[in-house]
Amino acid sequence: MAPIPLCLLLLCALPLCVPVWGGHGKGVDEEYGWSVQRVPLILDRHTVHLRTPTFGGKTEGAGGDKEAGGGIECQSALPPPDWAALESMLGYETVYENGTRTQTDVTLQGLNDTTSHTPLPKTSHTRRKRQVYGEDGRFVISDSHFTTSYPFSTAVRLSTGCSGVQVSDKHILTAAHCVHDGKDYLQGVRRLKVGVLQFKSKRGWIHTGDRTNAVSHGYDYALLELKRPIKQKHMKLGLLAAAKPLPLGRIHFSGFDNEPEGGQTEGEREKVVYRFCSVTEESDDLLYQHCDAQQGASGAGVYIRLRQEVEGSNKGKWQRKVIGVFSGHRWVDGDGGGGEQRDYNMAVRITPPKYAQICHWIHGDPSMCREA
């Protein structure tokens, strides 16, 4: 089957903290903004019905969050996939509310031949818990005024113990391993719910239907479709040219971290945890970084904030957009597999084909997904 696709208290007032929430200082990276980019076209080619899953997948760790696998090879040492392999990786599986599921093969058109894509890495080391590196740099957002306001309001919690990000009024982007262990859907997916922080009621649980794929390192993402819409501002998907490094080399994400060994009460698990950090290394499919995170953060939407470019003008509104999905901790081999291993917290990067696929899932019409 194809690959399915200590906390610091916030003590300052909002005006003093604005740069922390994903902004850039004046004059920094003014020339780097969100530009309109053409993306490839993904067309459904063939869909077949599969046997009903048993929902016997196992979760590990606090809150049901499961690490997505072991170590990987350095991606720069691996050759890019050919066209057929890329189409195979972009094929997807859909599981419906009644438990039935389908497998859809796709055709990829319009991909720039000069665009390189990194293949799936190979497992090469036993798994460890994801890390807090040095002094903990996370911020607990406990004030309901902030947690129910954008961008923190886009962070959601899954009943399987992971996080996610709202990317439309009815869709949640998360990590594939939060709903599938690579062999079967997790036990809790049959009645999966999404938690959204709200004023007064704290959290409203919303039932979902699921669109997901099996777990692979560079394709560890899934899309959940809600039974009813969430009427609030969501985070848009973003796409950056692979030829350019990330502006300031910095990413941001918010989620519902679970401390190890049951070190949190239910009330503490209701609090949004925000962090930002610099990306150490980049590849076409992965962002290697040391953002502090604990179990429960998997599936959080990784975003950056840039100006939206306007034709004929050097001005535009600042916009936050999701450019990846936080996946978890990995050990990474040096080039060629013989180098010293290094540990990272990693995020799956949204590439043009992945953008086209996720957009297609959201809209159901590939013609609406030609530009990002």
Q: What is the pLDDT of residue 295?
A: 81
- For the chain, the domain total comes to 1
Does residue 3 form part of some domain?
Answer: no
Does residue 2 form part of some domain?
Answer: no
- Boundaries of domain holding 140: 8-369
- Contacts for 108 with CB less than 8 Å, ≥ 6 apart: 40, 41, 42, 83, 86, 87, 90, 353
CATH number of the domain residue 243 falls in: 2.40.10.120
Q: Which whole number is the average pLDDT over 179-188?
A: 87
pTM of the model: 0.80
Q: Which of 32-46, 130-144, 288-302 has the lowest mean pLDDT?
A: 130-144
Helix axes 352-363, 83-90, angle to 10 degrees: 30
More confident residue, 26 or 34: 34
Average pLDDT score over the chain: 75
Does residue 1 form part of some domain?
Answer: no
Check if the beta carbon of residue 103 is closer than 8 Å to that of residue 1: yes
Please give the Cα distance from 25 to 54 (Å, whole number). 51
Torsion of CA 318, 228, 58, 323, to 10 degrees: -10
Does residue 166 form part of some domain?
Answer: yes
More confident residue, 297 or 258: 297
Does residue 257 form part of some domain?
Answer: yes
63: left (phi over 0), alpha (psi -120 to 50) or beta: left
Does residue 140 form part of some domain?
Answer: yes
Does residue 191 form part of some domain?
Answer: yes
CA distances from 340 to 156, 232, 251 (A): 37, 46, 26
For the record, the structure tokens of 147 come out as 């947690």
Q: What is the pLDDT of residue 27?
A: 42
At residue 323, does pLDDT exceed 90?
Answer: yes
pLDDT (tens digit per residue) in 58-102:
875 434 455 544 556 656 556 677 888 888 889 999 988 888 899
Scan for tokens 């438990």, then name that residue: 99
At residue 302, does pLDDT exceed 60?
Answer: yes
